[in-house]
Amino acid sequence: MVVADRDALGGEATVAQIRQAGGHGLFVACDVTRDSEVRQLHERIAEVHGRLDYAFNNAGIEIERGRLAEGSEAEFDAIMAVNVKGVWLCMKYQLPLMMAQGGGVIVNTASVAGLAAAPKMSLYAASKHAVIGLTKSAAVEYAKKGIRVNAVCPAVIDTDMFRRAYEADPRKAEFAAAMHPVGRIGTVQEVASAVLYLCCDGAKFTTGHSLAVDGGAMAI
């Protein structure tokens, strides 16, 4: 497994966990907003492994804090650069590798904000709608090349990003839990399980799909 992250400490820690579990891991530092770094990442994958069977594009950013008209151009550019350009660049280099070997699977992280409105997160919502658009379009374009492209759309998940957003006001965390009919927020493991499903042979007839991992939030 190759782990790409702009955070060296976080990337190395992930690889250490993989190795402790008996797997093989390699960390490559990469800023997904930079074409040269994304290209070098995939060149490294080809050099080390000779192929790319599965790719999970899961970069994100947290800066938006207000209504649409209160946003700045800098916020817009930063969110779109990571959430949209980053996914596009990764797929740009993943798809040729997969075509050369006769197929593969890509899973992109979108969000329930890509399926519905997200008040006070309009730029984030726009970026995640764009991820779903990229996912569907790539799925259709490369279906006959043996490549499946899907997205996972998590609701509120217990991550470091979530904790930073809600630690200052515990009432917000309670509100977030209440947004989900199951009465709690989701876990990283639950999202990972959804990604693994989309990669497995049991999902061979599934492509261009946006899978909500949301505790029932989109059913309301």
- Give the residue numbers annotated as catalytic, written as ranges: 124
Please provide the distance, in angstroms rounded to a whole number, between the alpha carbons at the two ends of the chain: 38
Closest listed residue to residue 207, CA positions, set 150, 142, 130: 150
User: How many H helices and E strands in the chain?
Assistant: 8, 6
Please state, in angstroms and rounded to a whole number, the distance separating the CA atoms of residues 111 and 132. Answer: 9
Phi first, then psi: give them for residue 126, nearest 5 degrees: -60, -40
Cα–Cα distance measured from residue 189 to residue 207, given in angstroms and rounded to the nearest whole number: 22
Geometric angle at alpha carbon 159, from 171 and 124, rounded to 5°: 80
* CA separation for the pair 149, 213 (Å, rounded): 17
Rg of the chain over Cα atoms, rounded to whole angstroms, equals 17
> What distance in Å separates the CA atoms of residue 185 and residue 157, rounded to the nearest whole number?
6
Cα 146 from Cα 138, distance rounded (Å): 12
Question: What span, in angstroms and rounded, lies between the C-alpha atoms of 110 and 155?
Answer: 10
DSSP 8-state assignment for residue 61? -
